[in-house]
Every structure is written in structure tokens, then in C-alpha cells.
């Protein structure tokens, strides 16, 4: 499976966008819509390929639902 979150686990109750994105001057609306993925030493290329393919499917599905609305 895939684990993702809107921010760092150490700030799970924090509702503001990442201070890193703010420092990068990312637009507030865009910063609020980001998703964080954490990688570790055990993360493989196959893991990343899996996430990319699942994200493609999720985005495609969202685009189809938006177009149908």
C-alpha cells in the first residue's frame, strides 16, 4: 500500500501549510493541496514506480469525475 499525508507526522494536528513550502513562496492555495510522501532506506525503485502508477490512475479518475460533473 501507500501511506501519504498532508504534512509531517510530527505535526499531525497542525493545519497550516508546510513552513518549507512557505519559505519556497509556494502559493497558499497550492501549498494547502499538497501531499507528503516519506521515503526510507528500504524504499525501492519498484516502490516508487508503484506509487507513480497509482497516482496516475487516481488523477485520471479525478479528471474523469470532474469532466462528468
Residues marked as catalytic: 10
Distance separating alpha carbons of residues 26 and 22, to the nearest angstrom? 6
Do 32 and 17 touch, CB atoms closer than 8 A?
A: yes
Residue 40 has which C-alpha cell? 526510507
Amino acid at each position: 500500500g501507500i501511506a501519504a499525508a498532508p504534512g509531517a507526522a510530527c505535526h499531525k494536528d497542525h493545519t497550516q501549510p508546510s513552513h518549507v513550502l512557505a519559505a519556497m513562496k509556494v502559493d497558499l492555495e497550492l501549498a494547502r493541496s499538497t501531499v507528503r510522501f516519506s521515503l526510507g532506506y528500504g524504499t525501492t525503485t519498484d516502490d516508487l514506480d508503484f506509487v507513480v502508477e497509482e497516482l496516475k490512475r487516481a488523477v485520471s479518475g479525478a479528471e474523469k469525475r470532474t469532466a462528468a460533473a
